[in-house]
Amino acid sequence: MSFTFNTTKSIVNAPNSSLNLAQYCENLNMTKVLLVTDPGIVKLGLHLNMLANLEASSLDYVLFSEVEVDPPMAVIENALAFAKQHQIDGVVGLGGGSSLDTAKLIAALTQSSQTLEQVFGVDKLLHSRLPLIQIPTTAGTGSEVTPISIVTTGEAMKMGIVSSVLLPDIALLDASLTVNLPPHITAATGIDAMVHAIEAYTSNIKKNPYSDMLAIEALKLMSKNIQQAVHQGSDLQARANMMLGATMAGQAFANAPVAAVHALAYPLGGHYHIPHGLSNSLVLPHVLKFNAPAAAPLYAQLADIIIPNIASTLTTAEEKTAAFIQYLEDLIINLNLPNRLASLDIPQSALTMLAKDALKQERLLVNNPRPMNEADILAIYHAAF
Ligand SMILES: NC(=O)c1ccc[n+]([C@@H]2O[C@H](COP(=O)([O-])OP(=O)(O)OC[C@H]3O[C@@H](n4cnc5c(N)ncnc54)[C@H](O)[C@@H]3O)[C@@H](O)[C@H]2O)c1
Ligand SMILES: [Fe+2]
């Protein structure tokens, strides 16, 4: 079997590791650091210890804290102008996927002759980037170990920039930053990460032994800890297990890409500003039911790992697959996530438009274990309605 596996060079998994940020910056020869984050993080003061640590060092630093959720192009362009103006030579992303994705693009484009518009798609970045450290504050996207940035273009479309240039140098996994993450964000971002592992494990083209190993370990960790992290958010061990699981799932899907769950989720985020993890959660059981005829052997393997007590009483792959999907449906309810499109003020009349939009996510749909056409997508949205 031929495959390539790439990941972030250094992964530091230690509570409070962000308190030594300056040391990590110096190790990468940064002298003027741009810290990229969003107003929610600033309001919570999650960045303050890091700024104090930079202040006490010999490094210069500037802060850009205007990242918006599902970052639109204008936000990235503002951040780029800010970075150029301040002549920074290193970037630190702090936050959820929105801040980390923005940080990646700043690192890639600050010293480049290319504009943001020129780099959408796969392998379009022509130049090397500035040193880049990523500090996730959600256990979700895995952006700290993926070669991907997602940007909202125009009114409602989400587009990817995919390039090995975007793989960060260091991922600092400091779970203490997530203990105050509210239950609904913990739940949605946690389901996003579990979907990364599930879709990597069934990815049609690039699935490989490394991505499988990481997806399985990620699902073990997250299925055991997601309920505790949501309902007992101060449990640092549960938080740390979720963070490590989300990063492992990120490593898996960075190499065995996600598929139809994400393809159908993106239009919900684009048109209705439904958070990324929640939009995944809304379509997840229905996409898996559609995929079951093709993917049952793999879903059955995941059932054996995640719900061994139930799976051991079942014999066929179809039975185990049904139990796996039921487990996920029950989990979504247990985490208090809404599970109907109708409950989010999406009109039924919009489903046709959403299906047309989802079909445009060819980059993702090619990875689905079962081919999906526009009529299939529409039927899935109706099932999720
Ligand atoms: N690069 C990738 O590989 C990849 C993969 C999947 C999704 N994404 C993208 O990532 C984005 C979603 O990222 P996300 O789900 O991590 O959320 P996010 O970055 O959009 O943040 C959501 C909200 O959570 C808040 N928040 C973050 N950390 C917090 C904390 N510790 N405590 C309290 N509040 C906190 C933020 O302030 C924000 O208001 C989307 O744009 C999505 O398309 C990227
Ligand atoms: Fe995702």
Contact criterion met (CB below 8 Å) for 366 and 310: no
Q: Which atom of ligand 1 is nearest to the CA of 262?
A: 6
The string of DSSP codes covering 204-258 is TTT--HHHHHHHHHHHHHHHHHHHHHHHSTT-HHHHHHHHHHHHHHHHHHHHS--
Q: Report the pLDDT averaged over residues 297-322.
A: 97
pLDDT attached to residue 368 = 98
Q: Given its phi and psi angles, is residue 169 left (phi above 0), alpha (psi -120 to 50 degrees) or beta?
A: alpha
pLDDT at 270 over 90: no
Does residue 146 line the site of ligand 1, with CB under 6 A? yes
- Band of residue 120 on the pLDDT scale cut at 50, 70, 90: very high
Q: Which atom of ligand 1 is nearest to the CA of 182?
A: 33
pLDDT attached to residue 257 = 96
Does residue 70 line the site of ligand 1, with CB under 6 A? yes
- Band of residue 151 on the pLDDT scale cut at 50, 70, 90: very high
Q: How far is the CA of 139 from the centre of ligand 1 (A)?
A: 9
Does residue 145 line the site of ligand 1, with CB under 6 A? no
- Band of residue 158 on the pLDDT scale cut at 50, 70, 90: confident
pLDDT attached to residue 156 = 74
Ligand 2 (single-atom ion) residues, CB below 5 Å: 192
DSSP 3-state of 60: strand
Residue 384 CB-half CA count within 13 A:
34
Q: Report the pLDDT averaged over residues 64-91.
A: 97
Does residue 174 line the site of ligand 1, with CB under 6 A? no
The two three-digit tokens of residue 145, written as one number: 């170990």
pLDDT attached to residue 157 = 81
Does residue 180 line the site of ligand 1, with CB under 6 A? yes
C-alpha span between 172 and 174 (Å, rounded): 6
pTM: 0.96
pLDDT attached to residue 376 = 98
Q: Specify burial of residue 9 (Cβ count, 10 A radius: 0-12, 13-18, 19+).
A: exposed
Does residue 222 line the site of ligand 1, with CB under 6 A? no
- Band of residue 154 on the pLDDT scale cut at 50, 70, 90: confident
Q: How far is the CA of 23 from the centre of ligand 2 (A)?
A: 31
Over the stretch 274-288, which tens digit does the pLDDT of each residue have?
999 999 999 999 999
Q: Report the pLDDT averaged over residues 262-276.
A: 94
Does residue 200 line the site of ligand 1, with CB under 6 A? no
- Closest C-alpha residue for ligand 1 atom 30: 181
Across all residues in the chain, what is the average pLDDT? 97
Q: Report the pLDDT averaged over residues 93-113.
A: 97
Quick one: DSSP state of residue 194? H
Q: Are strands 157-162 and 148-153 parallel, antiparallel or unpaired?
A: antiparallel
Q: Report the pLDDT averaged over residues 204-213.
A: 97
C-alpha span between 254 and 206 (Å, rounded): 10
Q: Which of 150, 178, 248 to mutate to test the pocket of ligand 1 (most atoms within 8 A of CB)?
A: 150
Q: Report the pLDDT averaged over residues 26-31.
A: 98
- Band of residue 372 on the pLDDT scale cut at 50, 70, 90: very high
pLDDT attached to residue 241 = 98
The string of DSSP codes covering 312-352 is TT--SHHHHHHHHHHHHHHHHHHTT----GGGGT--GGGHH
Q: Report the pLDDT averaged over residues 218-233.
A: 98
Q: How far is the CA of 292 from the centre of ligand 1 (A)?
A: 30
- Band of residue 155 on the pLDDT scale cut at 50, 70, 90: confident
Q: Which atom of ligand 1 is nearest to the CA of 69?
A: 20
- Which listed ligand is nearest to 143 at the C-alpha? 1
Does residue 18 line the site of ligand 1, with CB under 6 A? no
Q: Which atom of ligand 1 is nearest to the CA of 101?
A: 1
- Band of residue 1 on the pLDDT scale cut at 50, 70, 90: confident
Instruction: Starting at the earlier edge strand, list the strands of the sheet with 148-153.
Output: 121-122, 157-162, 148-153
Give me the amino acid identity at 239: R
C-alpha span between 40 and 219 (Å, rounded): 28
Q: How far is the CA of 314 from the centre of ligand 1 (A)?
A: 38
Instruction: Starting at the earlier edge strand, list the strands of the sheet with 90-95.
Output: 10-13, 170-173, 132-136, 90-95, 32-36, 60-64
Q: How far is the CA of 263 from the centre of ligand 1 (A)?
A: 18
Rounded alpha-carbon distances, angstroms, from residue 132 to 29, 169, 340: 11, 5, 39
| Closest alpha carbon to 329 in 220, 139, 191 | 191
- Which listed ligand is nearest to 252 at the C-alpha? 1
Question: Looking at the DSSP assignment, which residues form a beta bridge with residue 172?
Answer: 12
pLDDT attached to residue 128 = 96
Helical H segments across the chain, by residue range: 21-27, 39-44, 48-55, 73-85, 97-109, 183-201, 209-231, 236-255, 260-272, 276-306, 308-311, 317-334, 351-359, 362-365, 374-384
- pLDDT above 90 coverage of the chain, percent: 97
